[in-house]
């Protein structure tokens, strides 16, 4: 069984996470009930769960995880069935928002359009409503072929000295008790380090690439441990809440120290190798 709260907070639906190969997904969920004829993108459907894979070079990677309640909710495999809320095509927007308040996890953006309301969670997960009812819950990584961006380049990156200055200033702010300002600056320095490590490893990275994607790629390259990755994702979401002026959350100075320490550790490590 899975947890919808975990999916909303992390983008992971039980054992299913972005970056998986089709064979990895099928080893967990079994053969799909429906499979697209096209291989790029490849779509696998398990009831109301749809997984979309795009091929980059020799590998196909999971790029979209989607739970679709409209036009009707169909049973999904037990490994990914959420146990903390009942999903259906009758789930109202009001009831779902009440669930978000109950778990204390609120969106950072709300987009209202002709097709309905869309909530964007701090994790990047999107919750879509249509005609006041829950339509879908999706987590995706943009397809770079459809969304080209400028390649990573040292021309736009801060120097080691400038990164160290940011990290030292973040530590100083933490000691002074300015933890909200400190976590924003510490994250800025950490994100610059993540891009530099990815650049040195030869990743096909992009300026503006989502930090959550960099975290997954560096975890796959073993530059980050599982504990590091979990901590950094929590800090990314906390920093997002601060930057968007959401309801203040207590921020410990230890969080900033943790970010700075990981950044220094990554800067001192030899270059990582991108997994094939």
Give residue 272's pLDDT band: very low, low, confident or very high (50, 70, 90): low
Tell me: pLDDT of 193 over 60. Answer: yes
Q: How large is the average pLDDT for residues 250-270? A: 91
For the chain, what are the domain ranges?
4-140, 154-268
**Which is more confident, 63 or 245?**
63
Strands of 49-56's sheet in order across: 34-35, 42-46, 49-56, 59-68, 133-140, 126-130, 116-120, 109-113
Instruction: Return the minimum-mean-pLDDT range out of 85-89, 97-101, 212-216.
Output: 212-216
Tell me: pLDDT of 114 over 50. Answer: yes
Angle at 8 between CA 135 and CA 76, to 5 degrees: 60
Helices (H) and strands (E) in the chain, counts: 8, 8
Distance of alpha carbon 74 from alpha carbon 68, whole angstroms: 9
Q: How large is the average pLDDT for residues 165-188? A: 94
Tell me: pLDDT of 186 over 80. Answer: yes
CATH topology of domain 154-268: 1.20.120
Summarised one tens digit per residue, pLDDT across range 196-250 is 888 777 665 444 566 777 787 787 778 888 899 889 988 988 888 888 777 667 8
Per-residue confidence (pLDDT) for residue 190, from 0 to 100: 93
Residue 17: Cβ within 10 Å count = 17
Tell me: pLDDT of 145 over 90. Answer: no
Contacts of 212 (CB under 8 A, 6+ apart): 11, 123, 124, 233, 236
Give residue 24's pLDDT band: very low, low, confident or very high (50, 70, 90): very high
């Amino acid at each position: 069984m899975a947890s919808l709260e975990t999916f909303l907070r992390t983008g992971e639906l039980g054992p299913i996470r972005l970056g998986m190969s089709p064979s990895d997904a099928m080893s967990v969920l079994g053969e799909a009930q429906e499979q697209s004829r096209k291989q790029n993108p490849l779509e696998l459907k398990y009831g109301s769960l749809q997984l979309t894979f795009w091929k980059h070079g020799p590998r196909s990677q999971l790029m979209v995880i989607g739970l679709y309640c409209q036009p009707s909710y169909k049973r999904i495999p037990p490994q990914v069935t959420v146990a903390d809320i009942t999903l259906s095509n009758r789930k109202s927007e009001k009831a779902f928002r009440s669930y978000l308040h109950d778990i204390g996890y609120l969106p950072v953006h709300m987009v209202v359009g002709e097709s309905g309301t869309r909530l964007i969670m701090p994790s990047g997960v999107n919750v879509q409503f249509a005609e006041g009812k829950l339509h879908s819950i999706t987590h995706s990584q943009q397809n770079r072929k459809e969304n080209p961006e400028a390649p990573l380049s040292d021309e736009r990156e801060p120097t080691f000295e400038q990164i160290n200055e940011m990290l030292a200033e973040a530590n100083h702010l933490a000691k002074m008790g300015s933890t909200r300002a400190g976590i924003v600056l510490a994250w800025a320095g950490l994100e610059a380090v993540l891009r530099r490590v990815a650049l040195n490893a030869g990743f096909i990275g992009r300026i503006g690439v989502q930090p959550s994607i960099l975290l997954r790629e560096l975890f796959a390259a073993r530059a980050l441990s599982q504990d590091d990755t979990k901590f950094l994702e929590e800090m990314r979401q906390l920093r997002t809440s601060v930057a968007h002026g959401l309801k203040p959350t207590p921020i410990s100075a230890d969080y900033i120290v943790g970010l700075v320490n990981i950044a220094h550790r990554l800067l001192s490590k030899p270059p990582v190798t991108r997994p094939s």
